[in-house]
Structure 1
Amino acid sequence: MVEEKEGGGSGGVMASDATDAFDAANAEHPYLKIIILGDSAVGKSKLFDRFHLNDYKEYRYSTYALTLYRHKVDLDGQERLIHFWDTAGQEIFNSMHPSYYFQAHACIMVFDVLRKVTYKNLTMWHEELCQHRPDIPVLLVANKIDANPKASQMKFNMASKYNMKLYYCSASDGTNVVKVFKDAIVAAHEYKKKTTDFMDAVMEELQLMDEDGDA
């Protein structure tokens, strides 16, 4: 199932499996696609809930395959559709389907400052990301600092090692949440304008052809 969220409402689009879910979401052709990676229960979905709905929920159930968040923003004087993709529980398999990474323009990687293993596992997630989208900008989020304020004084070597911007965040009290998502949109937009990815260029042309055919 693809769980789509836009504004304050939500709906569902049924798919037979994860591949169908990812393909259906990619077919919408958003202007920007930003993926969110990290272990289960690090707070990925709650971060977006705080950003988009400004309504933190203490508990949230994962849905099968994918949670797709749709967000509209003004870029260069035009209203643009942004897709934020959340793993929705698929991360328990320690690997994502290639379609999850397809044509992503930026990535937000999240770990839980209360669980060291979620930080260690970012190496695995980063390696898989680089197999599919090695050049996109990556933003690193140290989440749940409200439960461990001292974590905001800690240095995390992964950020400097891979040239990632590090954000100390809390979905609970909202610390830096809006900033990280807005910065991700800006980074994805800049990447899209500068990219020379051949497949991205081909897909852009095909999308324009489809739009012309529908006109």
Structure 2
Amino acid sequence: MAESNLETRRVVILGSSASGKTSLVNRAVHNSFAHDYCQTFGADLTVKTVIDGQKRVLHMWTCGGHERYRPLLEQFCIDVHAALICCDLLSMLSFQELSYWFNEIKRLSPDAIILLVGTKSDETDSMAVKVQDLMKVAQEWGVDFKAVSAKTGAGVNELFDLVVQTVS
């Protein structure tokens, strides 16, 4: 079956620089984790095929979180089906920038399903952001929240199962 005949959904992964977006996608697609940080320049496209009764393709755009790449967001965020907004649990700055990402996705794709994702949940001794605070933000926004660890894989499969369910 050619990919063009498959049900395709666009998903964008947003968040501050070094918030674990690329690691999250690599864990979900390749079941791998790289300990070395590698900045995303602009955006990266990763394709994941999902079979859950029917075959679907997720086109996942991981957008660079550094401020210099923000002017490029529009071309990747328009008409997406879902957005994962990532918050690095080790970074208060990442938490403080959440409203920027939320407002951008609401502006560019108002009908997109949004999920708030707390990354690096395995680093419990170093957390700068409380999971309860992210849960409160998610409740205020009316979105789901998931805490995940790309390093250990904890919660990653469940997160992407939720993405597939919500965009179907």
Same fold? TM cut 0.5: yes
Distance 1:175 1:51 in 2: 11
Deviations 1:72-104 (A, max 9, x none): 112553x222101001x3642244432211221
What is the aligned partner in structure 2 of residue 165 from structure 1?
Answer: 144
- 2: CA distance between counterparts of 1:30 and 1:74? 11
In the alignment, structure 2 segments of 5+ residues that lack a partner are 1-5
- Specify the alignment match of 1:198 in structure 2: none
TM-score in terms of structure 2 length: 0.85
Size of the aligned set, in residue pairs, is 160
Task: Establish whether residue 68 from structure 1 lines up as the match of residue 45 from structure 2.
Answer: yes
- Cα distance in structure 1, aligned partners of 2:37 and 2:109: 29
Task: Summarize the Cα distance change of 1:148–1:35 in structure 2 as closer, same or farther, 3 Å threshold.
Answer: same
Could you say which structure has the greater relative contact order, defined with CA pairs below 8 angstroms and 6 or more residues apart? 2
Which amino acid is 1:178 matched to?
N
Deviation at 1:188, TM superposition (A): 1.5
The one-letter amino acid of 1:116's match is M
* CA positional deviation for 1:136: 1.4
The structure number with the bigger radius of gyration is 1
CA gap of 1:66–1:153, structure 2 versus 1, over 3 A, is closer
The CA deviation at 1:30 is 6.8
TM-score (structure 1 length as normaliser): 0.67
1:125-136 equivalence runs, <5 A: 125-136=101-112
State the SS of the aligned residue for 1:155: helix
Partner residue in 2 for 1:155: 133
1:103 corresponding residue in structure 2: 79
CA distance in 1, matches of 2:7, 2:47: 9
Identity %: 23
